[in-house]
């Protein structure tokens, strides 16, 4: 459920009602739309106008990578301001609108220790961006673009002084292309989006039970038989790596082993721990096929394959997965069991450690540092490996205490359709950490993870964005930046700006609704989809039990976006209504309009959902929408008239809302909580109207306490 904002309103009311002499305070800093929030930002008096004469000059080091980035930012600025700027760089820095002063190129290939710091000084006359490296200048250019504002006088950049650097050096996004393949254009537009919010690692999950997604010239049956024809050629890999480098983003490939290995074995069953044949897996889940760690042939194969891959990926790190190996094939293979007995290997964990130690030598031979999930952490592995934790802060902290570098992904699984606020408040290095400063330095950052069981190229953007921008802020900004309400305010702005990069997270929804509606007017369907969300975590498997990786994923649950902005807006409306007595009538009018729209839309939806097979499973949602809106309108009427309903009304309506809260068609209404608040408040309307302001505020806290949601079995 969404985080509520009543406490903030109560605090504001308490402040406004305070009496007595007050010492005048400095005017509050203007609200900005920067995301991530810089390490230090100070707004000054004045503003720099952005006109059609906007020019950019460079000072110090400049190369083609920096020139190209400046050009892309200038073109985005043109589109935002509807103005054409001079194409040639300014020859006189003293008269340029923006001066980019860069000291050096930085790393030839983006690296973990890349210097990404920059400063930005904007006065009424000029903006000066200074950075020690090209990547630092890139980060500053994105901040500059986010500062653009407008009023009736025109476009402008506020006068500001910014000193900025990232909190963590590893700020990543994992994209799983194994379960569902995502073409080059999908990866590119997401790289552009990553750069815009200062993420710097693309973790490319390239192999899975459901697909082997990269061309191997050494072993062509890997992609030839294990991909259904959906894979990246080596030229496309080079293209993506270069595209990422030009945006200051590292590309870390993942080749999952020894488990999650079915697609390896379709073409090369002799590498497996059980006899073949093997087929590409169509289901989601954890499966038994695994590489045989007792065969020398496996290590020779991996030496050749990883050597080939090392030439395609220049990054220092290579991810081996290492997670969720069931060990079943090892346990049932007499040869493997005899090997374990001979070597004194006591269990599957020890056998996987043996495999990892052999693999580590191969990776080092090819100049790579091993990276893997929690399961690879075993006592005998050297300290230079990197642990990616899906288990959480406790596991990550323990690894750091042992001297291992690590990154956090637990809490950032964006495929689980959870709220931005939930992700936002998870911290790789929380304030209550028990690590020493030396140990804490092993926490390198984190990664959002886009596992792709339930996404296609048509929907992946809507699952990554814009929630990942909030995660990016957690990785970049100071730990103290934690204002959830302000994060959502800025996230709504970023959500729109991301579209200019070619992302489809907003526009594809309407297209999908038109397709579902088969030419009918989709206005009512848009109203519904705006206030529902897909069920969270792994609950969708309950509603779509026959799901395979060949499913088109074009239903209503696929069109809905996690963490509905419209639902959040309604939550704030209700909270304001209950916390702000003087403005009750104005807020009640807005809520009434919203509830009326829901009720009327439900009436239109019912015949559409009856007549279109693709919408049949969602028919209960139309009924729920109607009942929920009607209950809300009744409660609002009681509140407005200062009349309490009969006691049995409350019981009946709350029971109805409990039924409405149960998911249907893998969708649920997050706004149920807020309608419930209206019902509870309506039953106490006369008392609320006669309360003192302080008593009103205290009672608001109690009304805002969310109920325990119904358990989903």
Query: By the 8 A CB rule, do 330 and 263 touch?
Result: no
Structure tokens at 435: 């690590």
Annotation marks residue 324 as catalytic: yes
**How many C-beta atoms surround the C-beta of residue 356 within 10 A?**
24
147-174 burial, b at 16+ Cβ within 10 Å, e below that, comes to bbeeeeeebbbbbbebebebbbbbbbbb
234-262 burial, b at 16+ Cβ within 10 Å, e below that, comes to eeebeebbebbbbbbbbbbbbbbbbbbbb
User: Residue 561: which of 582, 532, 584 has the closest Cα?
Assistant: 532
- Alpha carbon distance, N-terminus to C-terminus of the chain: 18
Query: By the 8 A CB rule, do 520 and 608 touch?
Result: yes
Per DSSP, what are the bridge partners of residue 318?
Answer: 370
**Which one from 78, 324, 458, 485 is the annotated catalytic residue?**
324
Q: Is the dihedral of CA 497, 498, 502, 505 positive or negative?
A: negative
Query: By the 8 A CB rule, do 206 and 312 touch?
Result: no
Strands 201-205 and 170-176: parallel
Distance between CA atoms of 400 and 387, rounded to whole angstroms?
9
User: What residues contact 649, with CB distance under 8 A and at least 6 apart?
Assistant: 634, 683
User: Residue 294: which of 262, 270, 324, 319 has the closest Cα?
Assistant: 270
Phi, psi of 346 (to 5 degrees): -85, -30
SS3 224: helix
Q: Which helix (H) or strand (E) holds 14?
A: helix 6-17
**How many C-beta atoms surround the C-beta of residue 292 within 10 A?**
21
Q: What is the DSSP letter of 26?
A: P
SS3 184: helix
User: Residue 639: which of 692, 573, 592 has the closest Cα?
Assistant: 592
Cα atoms in the 13 Å half-sphere on the side-chain side of 308: 15
**How many C-beta atoms surround the C-beta of residue 322 within 10 A?**
27
Q: Which helix (H) or strand (E) holds 100?
A: strand 98-102
Cite the active site residues.
Answer: 324
């Amino acid at each position: 459920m969404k985080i509520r904002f009543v406490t903030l309103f109560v605090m504001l009311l308490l402040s406004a009602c305070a009496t007595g002499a007050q010492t005048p305070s400095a005017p509050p800093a203007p609200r900005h739309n920067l995301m991530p929030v810089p390490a230090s930002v100070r707004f000054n008096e004045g503003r720099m106008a952005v006109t059609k004469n906007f020019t950019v000059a460079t000072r110090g080091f400049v190369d083609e990578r920096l020139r190209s980035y400046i050009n892309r930012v200038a073109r985005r600025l043109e589109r935002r301001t509807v103005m054409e700027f001079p194409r040639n760089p300014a020859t006189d820095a003293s008269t340029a609108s923006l001066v980019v002063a860069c000291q050096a190129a930085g790393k030839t290939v983006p690296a973990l220790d890349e210097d990404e710091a920059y400063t930005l000084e904007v006065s009424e006359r000029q903006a000066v961006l200074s950075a020690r490296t090209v990547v630092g200048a890139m980060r500053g250019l994105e901040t500059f673009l986010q500062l653009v504002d407008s009023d009736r006088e025109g476009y402008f950049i506020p006068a500001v002084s910014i000193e900025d650097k990232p909190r963590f050096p590893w700020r990543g996004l994992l994209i799983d292309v194994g379960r569902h393949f995502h073409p080059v254009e999908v990866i590119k537009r997401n790289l552009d989006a990553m750069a815009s919010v200062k993420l710097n690692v693309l973790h490319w999950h390239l192999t899975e039970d459901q697909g082997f997604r990269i061309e191997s010239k050494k072993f062509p049956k890997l992609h030839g038989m294990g991909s259904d024809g959906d894979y990246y050629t080596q030229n496309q890999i080079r293209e993506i790596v270069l595209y990422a480098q030009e945006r200051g983003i590292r590309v870390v490939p993942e080749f999952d082993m020894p488990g999650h290995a079915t697609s390896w074995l379709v073409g090369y069953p002799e590498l497996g721990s059980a006899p073949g044949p093997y087929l590409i897996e169509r289901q989601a889940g954890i499966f038994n096929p695994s590489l045989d760690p007792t065969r020398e042939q496996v290590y020779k194969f991996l030496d050749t394959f990883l050597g080939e891959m090392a030439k395609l990926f220049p990054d220092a790190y290579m991810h081996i997965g290492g997670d969720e190996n069931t060990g079943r094939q090892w346990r049932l293979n007499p040869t493997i069991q005899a090997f374990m007995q001979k070597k004194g290997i006591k269990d599957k964990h020890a056998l996987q450690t043996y495999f990892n130690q052999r693999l580590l030598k191969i990776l080092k031979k090819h100049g790579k540092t091993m990276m893997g999930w929690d399961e690879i952490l075993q006592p005998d592995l050297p300290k230079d490996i990197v642990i990616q934790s899906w288990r959480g802060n406790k596991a990550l902290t323990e690894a750091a205490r042992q001297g291992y570098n690590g990154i956090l992904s637990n809490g950032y699984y964006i495929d689980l359709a959870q709220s931005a606020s939930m992700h936002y408040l998870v911290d790789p290095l929380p304030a209550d950490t028990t690590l020493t400063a030396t140990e804490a330095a092993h926490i390198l950052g984190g990664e959002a993870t886009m596992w792709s069981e339930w996404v296609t190229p048509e929907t992946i953007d809507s699952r990554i964005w814009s929630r990942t921008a909030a995660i990016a802020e957690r990785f970049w900004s100071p730990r103290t930046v934690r204002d959830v309400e302000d994060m959502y305010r800025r996230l709504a702005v970023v959500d729109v700006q991301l579209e200019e990069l070619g992302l489809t997270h907003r526009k594809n929804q309407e297209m999908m609704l038109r397709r579902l509606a088969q030419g009918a007017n989709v206005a009512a369907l848009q109203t519904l989809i705006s206030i529902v969300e897909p069920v969270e975590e792994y609950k969708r498997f309950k509603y779509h039990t026959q799901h395979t990786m060949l499913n088109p994923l074009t239903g209503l649950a696929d069109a809905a976006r996690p963490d509905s902005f419209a639902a959040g807006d309604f939550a704030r409306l209700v909270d304001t209504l209950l916390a702000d007595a003087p403005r009750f009538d104005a807020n009640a009018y807005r809520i009434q309009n919203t509830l009326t729209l829901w009720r009327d839309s439900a009436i239109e939806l019912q015949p559409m959902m009856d007549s279109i097979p693709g919408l049949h499973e969602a028919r209960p949602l139309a009924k729920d929408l109607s009942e929920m809106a009607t209950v809300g309108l009744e409660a609002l009427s009681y509140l407005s008239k200062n009349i309490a309903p009969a006691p049995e009304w409350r019981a009946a309506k709350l029971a109805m809302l409990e039924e409405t809260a149960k998911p249907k068609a893998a969708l649920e209404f997050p706004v149920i909580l807020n309608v419930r608040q209206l019902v509870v408040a309506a039953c106490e309307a006369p008392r609320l109207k006669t309360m003192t302001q302080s008593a009103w505020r205290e009672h608001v806290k109690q009304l805002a306490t969310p109920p325990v949601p119904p358990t989903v079995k």
